[in-house]
């Protein structure tokens, strides 16, 4: 931690409100990885799985068996289940930067909107956030886009200027400018866990029996 002499902020992760928890989480993650240098780059699914302990599904848009309709349905149900979602760009720097995106960069996928517009029919929009809160999408459905009308903003509860690096993007543009997304199926409550100290023998099978105690009065 840098905070003496000419240094006025933490050496690595820091927050505007001087919160310490983010730096402590980063330090713990660096300890697991072996060093701070080992945490540079990498895949979003790896970091999220380590931090949450929950499995992640990675959907690559360049696979032969990729289905856009299946992806949209998965994003919608994941949003309803409050799963963590990210998406990543993979294009050349000049191509991404020309539309306000950062190349080879992970974004947070915040919301999934599927609604009908009287003039344009069905609209599928995604709310995305750059965690660095800097460069933002400048294409269709961006803050300055003429696609937005005052009535539509009011109906969807969308402010005229988004804050914190967030922006909206049409699903078609999303498939064009991003190359994959990650869905972490983290459960926030209602689950319990139990761990058993057991070493599995090689080439042997075992049966696990779980007994549930039922109370007389069901709720």
- What's the pLDDT tens digit per position in 71-105? 999 999 999 999 999 999 986 777 888 899 999 99
pTM confidence score: 0.76
In the annotation, is 130 catalytic? yes
In the annotation, is 213 catalytic? no
- What's the pLDDT tens digit per position in 96-147? 888 999 999 999 999 999 988 777 788 999 999 998 877 789 999 998 898 9
Among the listed ranges 6-10, 41-45, 49-53, 123-127, which one has the minimum average pLDDT value? 6-10
pLDDT mean across residues, the chain: 83
Helix axes 44-52, 21-33, angle to 10 degrees: 110
Q: Give the start-to-end residue ranges of the domains of the chain.
A: 1-40, 42-184
Q: Give the separation between CA 59 and CA 36, rounded to whole angstroms.
A: 28
Please identify which of the residues 45, 130, 203, 219 carries the catalytic annotation: 130
Residues 6+ apart with CB under 8 A from 195: none
Q: Give the separation between CA 67 and CA 63, rounded to whole angstroms.
A: 9
pLDDT at 205 over 80: no
**42-184: which CATH topology?**
Cathepsin B; Chain A (3.90.70)
Please identify which of the residues 105, 213, 217, 219 carries the catalytic annotation: 105
């Amino acid at each position: 931690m840098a905070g003496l002499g000419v240094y006025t902020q933490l050496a690595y992760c820091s927050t505007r409100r001087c919160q310490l928890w983010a730096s402590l989480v980063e330090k713990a993650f660096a300890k697991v990885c072996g060093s701070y240098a080992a945490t540079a780059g990498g895949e979003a699914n790896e970091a999220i799985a380590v931090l949450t302990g929950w499995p992640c599904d990675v959907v690559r848009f360049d696979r032969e068996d990729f289905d856009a309709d299946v992806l949209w349905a998965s994003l919608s149900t994941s949003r309803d289940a409050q799963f963590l979602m990210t998406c990543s760009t993979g294009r050349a720097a000049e191509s991404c930067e020309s539309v306000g995106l950062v190349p080879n960069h992970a974004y947070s996928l915040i919301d999934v909107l599927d609604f009908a517009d009287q003039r344009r029919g069905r609209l599928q929009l995604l709310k995305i956030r750059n965690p660095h809160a800097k460069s933002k999408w400048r294409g269709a459905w961006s803050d300055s886009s003429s696609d937005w009308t005052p009535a539509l903003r009011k109906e969807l509860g969308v402010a005229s200027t988004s804050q914190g690096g967030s922006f909206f993007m049409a699903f078609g543009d999303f498939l064009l400018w991003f190359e994959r997304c990650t869905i972490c199926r983290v459960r926030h409550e209602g689950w319990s866990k139990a761990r058993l100290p057991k070493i599995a023998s090689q080439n042997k099978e075992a049966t696990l029996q779980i007994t549930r105690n039922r109370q007389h009065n069901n709720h």
